[in-house]
Amino acid sequence: MRRYFGRKLFIYALTFIVAVTINWMVPRFMPGDPVLRMLTRTSVSNPDAIAPMRAYYEKVFGLDVPLWKQYLNYWAELFQGNMGVSVWLFPTPVTDVITGAVPYTLALLLPSILLSWWAGNKVGALAARRKWLDNSVLPASYVLTATPYMWLGILLAWSLGLVAGLFPIAGGYSFDRQPTWSAAFLADLLAHWILPFLSLFLVAFGGWAIGMRNLIIYELEADYASYLEALGAPRRLVRRYAFRNALLPQLTGLALQLGVIVAGALVTEIVFGYPGLGSLILNAITNQDYFLLQGVFLFIVLGVLIANFAIDVVYVLVDPRTRIGMQGGSA
Amino acid sequence: MIDSTILAEAEAGHLPLAESKTREALHYALRNRKVVGGLAVVLAFLALGLAAPLFTDHGPNDFVGPPAAPPSGDYWLGTTTFGQDVFLQFANGIRSTFLVGFLGGGLAALIGMTVGFVAGYRGGLVDELLNMLTNVVLVLPALVVLIIFHAYVGVTSVPMQALFIGAFSWPWVARAVRAQTLSLRTREFVDLARLSGMRTTAIIRREIAPNMSSYLVMTFILLFGGAVLFAATLDFIGLGPTDVVSLGLMMNSAVRWSALHLGLWWWFVPPGAGITAIVGSLYIMNVGLDEVFNPKLREE
């Protein structure tokens, strides 16, 4: 057990270090000069003012010390939870801006990931080896999984939001409301949540349904399935065993797809103006708020790593073979 | 889409049974409805993209017509609020889509296969290190890394965008290719090649790779689709190339200039439909190819 989790945690720690290093390196070594861009943004008219401002910014970025020291300083600041100050929402610290947005993103992501995985697996398993269902579910799933997240979002916002007028299409709640714990506000929150949730859910659903359908077909062709059938086991039972076996690769698939789904959530938020991390990214880019952009990046990487670890734990719980392998038996 | 099924099959050691010869594969491919249908759609879009400059002598972003006109005989897909011809933008945008898919998918396939072959064939410390690299890039959320790079570097052209996309979407290919190489490495014909003194690169190229060629073709198609979706997402966020039109950039400007509220559906529906049609056809073509290469899956 310790060895398995040790290896996994090592990879995740390494990934985090790589992410932080990318974050540190990109502004320093990539072509393009963020300091210059920030200077042009303030559009100083007096040329004499540029040099002291440049010196000021370099000091703020900590660019006036040797590289290795900059790197160490970067880590030190990070461990104190200091990711700098947002330019866009000056003078709010980046960490505060992000923690304000994270709940919205999680509220979108968690239900859509879990529900689409669950529903996609169920429907995919039903479709396998059932002609008429296969012929309807499969093509629909392929269309859904090929759809860009933002386009489905745009279509839903336009059709259900604007044309049918069923749901609001912008923001996390109505602009004339203040966040409170009242029933009216929660209902308003829910109304704003449904469309972004639905578009995330649908795209992800297609992928899971296809995966499960293919895996079930493979499992039903496996020797144990034929053996069970030869013994006269009811089809329902065979299918149940096939389903449980097929869940394992789907679980691995969930870990692999996390990045894609998170990316989907970001653009979906942008379409709906939903006040989560996606909207922060857009605002950070349009306002050239690099501290905020980097903070969001690290937060997302951290979130994805934690989710990966959670899936690893679940995997051990569902697959007895990994447990036996860990206790010293032969896997 | 990262195809978890294809990865699961590879890691379970399922090789497509009995690699068919090229002629036989072609025979079945031309009779497979999914392959022919998917290919037809993809080629039709490609032809439209390539022929786009022939339709007219002005650029896709020029202001040629009345603003916000619905589709008509003159402007097949209507015009934007600025009077740009949507059809012209769409046809030209397809070209960027294909370019980014081809270059980005190609680069990812190249990196993924190289890493996978070397790791699987060499084994030992090389495998350990490459595997670690693969796993690290695999858990990094690719799009968010791409956003960071794009925002700082300021990507200006489609090939540059494809370069970044390719550099971060190869890991699952490396893992799948590595798994298959591991199972092929111990086969007798590989031993024989090694005994006869063939060099490692030659063994990988002439003995191992041909045995999973069908698999590699399908991998490239999936990577192509993935790169197209990545590029569309980046373009939509506003981090796309600045010198061309693309389907993602069209959606970006449609949303930015509130085409939704103005009801200009002809502005934002075609680009997304184009991407969905191209990527969906690629995926369906892949299913068909799977049936061609893998006789067990063939219908009837």
* Interchain contact, A297 vs B280, CB within 8 Å: no
Q: How far is CA B291 from CA B5, B20, B32, B236, B278, in A?
A: 14, 12, 8, 35, 20
Residue B280 has pLDDT above 60, yes or no: yes
In whole angstroms, give the CA distance from residue A148 to residue A203: 8
Tokens 């939903």 sit on residue: A274
Predicted-complex ipTM score: 0.85
Higher pLDDT, B100 or A289: B100
* Interchain contact, B283 vs A146, CB within 8 Å: yes
Question: In this complex, is the C-beta atom of A199 within 8 Å of any C-beta atom belonging to chain B?
Answer: no
In whole angstroms, give the CA distance from residue A158 to residue B47: 31
A132-187 residue pLDDT tens: 888 888 888 999 999 999 999 999 999 888 888 888 877 777 777 777 777 888 88
User: B143 to chain A: which residues are within 8 Å by CB?
Assistant: 259-260, 262-263, 266
pTM confidence score: 0.87
Question: In this complex, is the C-beta atom of A286 within 8 Å of any C-beta atom belonging to chain B?
Answer: yes
User: A22 to chain B: which residues are within 8 Å by CB?
Assistant: 145, 148
User: A26 to chain B: which residues are within 8 Å by CB?
Assistant: 148-149, 152-153
B117-174 residue pLDDT tens: 999 888 889 999 999 999 899 888 888 888 888 888 777 789 999 999 999 999 999 9
Given a contact cutoff of 8 angstroms between Cβ atoms, the answer to whether A297 and A23 are in contact is yes
Q: How far is CA B200 from CA B117, B122, B203, B209, B243, in A?
A: 10, 9, 5, 12, 43
Could you give the domains of chain B?
28-297 (1.10.3720.10)
Neighbours of A248 (CB within 10 A): 16
Which of B271, B145, B172, B175 shows the shortest CA–CA distance to B226?
A: B172
Residue B47 has pLDDT above 70, yes or no: yes
A52-87 residue pLDDT tens: 777 777 776 666 778 888 888 888 888 887 777 777
CA atoms within 13 A of residue A279's CA, in its CB half-sphere? 19
* Residue A229 burial (C-beta neighbours within 10 Å; 0-12, 13-18, 19+): middle
Q: Please, which residues 118-157 of chain A have a Cβ atom closer than 8 Å to chain B?
A: 139, 142-143, 145-152, 154-155, 157
B222 CA: distance to closest CA in chain A (Å) = 11
Residues 6+ apart with CB under 8 A from B216: B109, B113, B177, B209
Helix axes A235-272, B142-153, angle to 10 degrees: 20
Question: In this complex, is the C-beta atom of B23 within 8 Å of any C-beta atom belonging to chain A?
Answer: no
User: A220 to chain B: which residues are within 8 Å by CB?
Assistant: none
If you ran DSSP here, which 8-state letter would residue B19 be given? P
Strand ranges inside chain A, DSSP E: none
Q: How many residues does chain A have?
A: 331
Higher pLDDT, A324 or B46: B46
